[in-house]
A = this chain, B = another copy of it.
Amino acid sequence: MTGVTRKIVEVLEGKTIAPPPIWLMRQAGRYLPEYRETRARAGTFLDLCYTPDLAVEVTLQPIRRYGFDAAILFSDILVIPDALKRNVRFVQGEGPRMDPIDVPGIERLRSQGVLDHLAPVIETVGRLRRVLPEETTLLGFCGAPWTVATYMIAGHGTPDQAPARLFAYRNPEAFERLLSVLAEISAEYLIAQIDAGADAVQIFDSWAGVLGEREFEAYATKPVARMIELVRSARPKAKIIAFAKGAGPNLKSYRQKTKADAIGLDWSVPLSFAAELQKDGPVQGNLDPMRVVAGGKSLEEGIDAILDRLGNGPLIFNLGHGITPEADPDHVTALVERVRGAKA
């Protein structure tokens, strides 16, 4: 960085900025006509992730349109199992599929070649930093070991990740090995993103909410704490956001134990509880994405409630989950204007 201040980095350092900086999870996505146009030119979804020209283009689209304070690398959390040769594919209308892994498969997992496989993603990060406006934070990301593991065990998404929970009860040692392999590979992957120009990274634990207390500690908190430790020991200034969806009452200890710079909050986190969490450090979130689909008064009320309760502390304004394809791009304009019009 050349003396320029990037607001989201400042919030991650603990500063309160008013109005708060804003970006949206899945901001480069199907709700944008320009995304759908670029997507149609790629072959598979993974081709889009692995083709820097296209990945750079779709990452930049929402920045051009809305001037968000952060661009987030266009990729997917399942590039890690893809790099681990689990035969990942995205089936139209059905979501991701891969070959389910078993205990011998876990024992055979090797991290060699993973970063080579992901070289095009790292190239995308580097190119993005060179073309993004100076003031725009560039975010890298990866999935948390638990969430990535749930897909690797089941071979697809499930309503409450019962296959992974069951597998972990039955094969605790193999499961811990899987998480451990994923934590180490993911940490290396994040370091490579940081070295290529990412100002900060986010770890997505989209399925943290289906874990009981002990499993949350062992499978969500511990591997993410390990990842953050590995990243920080290599890159001491690394800034990290951890988003454990559905983690609810666990979030206080999750922040303390993972030592994430900021925690992401899903839309079900009550703002009264979010305000308590904010006393311990920066928070990110947490507008219900359905409010962006609805627009109008319900959008405005949702924005105002967050600004009222969390605007006086370190806050990165975001949704509580990814924006959906049904969202009207004009509603996003209204969202950004309302957040930016907030009084200091």
Within 8 A of B (CB), among A290-344: 290-291, 293-294, 298, 301-302, 305, 320-321, 324
**Do A214 and B305 touch across chains, with their CB atoms under 8 A apart?**
yes
A166: contacting residue among B170, B249, B267, B290, CB under 8 A: B290
Taking A246-B246, A249-B248 as contacts, is the C-beta distance between A212 and B169 under 8 angstroms? no
**Do A212 and B268 touch across chains, with their CB atoms under 8 A apart?**
yes
State in angstroms the CA–CA spacing of A165 and B213 once bound together. Answer: 28
Taking A209-B246, A212-B302, A288-B212 as contacts, is the C-beta distance between A324 and B269 under 8 angstroms? no
Closest to A320 in B: B212
Closest to A277 in B: B249
**Do B166 and A213 touch across chains, with their CB atoms under 8 A apart?**
no
Smallest CB separation, A303 vs chain B (Å): 12
Contacts of A249 on B, CB cut-off 8 Å? 248-249, 269-270, 273
Contacts of A210 on B, CB cut-off 8 Å? 268
Contacts of A170 on B, CB cut-off 8 Å? 294, 298
Q: Does A272 contact B (CB under 8 A)?
A: yes
State in angstroms the CA–CA spacing of A324 and B170 once bound together. Answer: 16
Q: Does A250 contact B (CB under 8 A)?
A: yes
Is the contact region of chain A dominated by helix, strand, or loop, or is it mixed?
helix
State the number of copies, please. Answer: 2
Q: Does A211 contact B (CB under 8 A)?
A: yes
Within 8 A of B (CB), among A235-249: 246, 248-249
A169: contacting residue among B246, B250, B271, B298, CB under 8 A: B298
State in angstroms the CA–CA spacing of A210 and B159 once bound together. Answer: 13
Q: Does A216 contact B (CB under 8 A)?
A: yes
Minimum-distance CB pairs A-B, first 4 = A248-B248, A169-B294, A169-B298, A213-B270
A-B contacts, 24 listed (Cβ < 8 Å): A159-B159, A162-B290, A166-B290, A166-B293, A169-B288, A169-B290, A169-B291, A169-B298, A170-B294, A170-B298, A209-B209, A212-B270, A212-B288, A212-B302, A212-B320, A213-B269, A213-B271, A214-B305, A246-B246, A246-B268, A248-B249, A249-B249, A249-B269, A249-B273
